[in-house]
Amino acid sequence: MSTMAGPEQPRSASQVLVAVSGISRYDAEAVFGVLRTCYESDEATTNLPQDAGEGRPTVWTSVFEVADPREEPRPASLTAPVTADLQGGPRQVQQVADVLARAFEVREQGAVAGDQERELRLRLSSTGMRPE
């Protein structure tokens, strides 16, 4: 797992950057939709990710404010397993991972911990779907 750097990093201790990659527009919106149910985001709820051209890698990112959760997530469907990278404070990253675990089956694929920041890679799949 590589360190995500640059302007996409969380802007405050209560924010978590979530990046999902190599998936369809439908699956990206399913993951971000679950998180928008619980948290305020830097993206409008109507701002759906756009598909990239065929054969091109696609990564969608959004920053979520996790200080004041709104409501509990509901289970959501995915058409295929999804890789999600979370970056932020250790407690906040775990909070987002816990929310995702209530909506999807989650398998941790790697973690990098620093003094005040944590990166976590998760593999998400629909409940009952066999992860790749």
Q: What are phi and psi of 38, to 5 degrees?
A: -95, -30
Question: What pLDDT does residue 10 have?
Answer: 53
Q: What is the pTM of this model?
A: 0.81
Which residues, in sequence order, are bridge partners of residue 111?
A: 120
- Residue scoring higher pLDDT (87 or 113): 87
CA gyration radius for the chain? 14
Mean pLDDT of all residues in the chain?
82
Break the chain down into helix, strand, coil percent, rounded to 5. 20, 30, 50
Half-sphere exposure of 42 (CA within 13 A, CB side): 15
What confidence tens digit (pLDDT) does each residue in 8-57 have? Answer: 555 678 999 999 987 788 899 999 999 999 999 876 444 555 655 566 66
Most distant CA atoms of the chain, gap in Å = 39
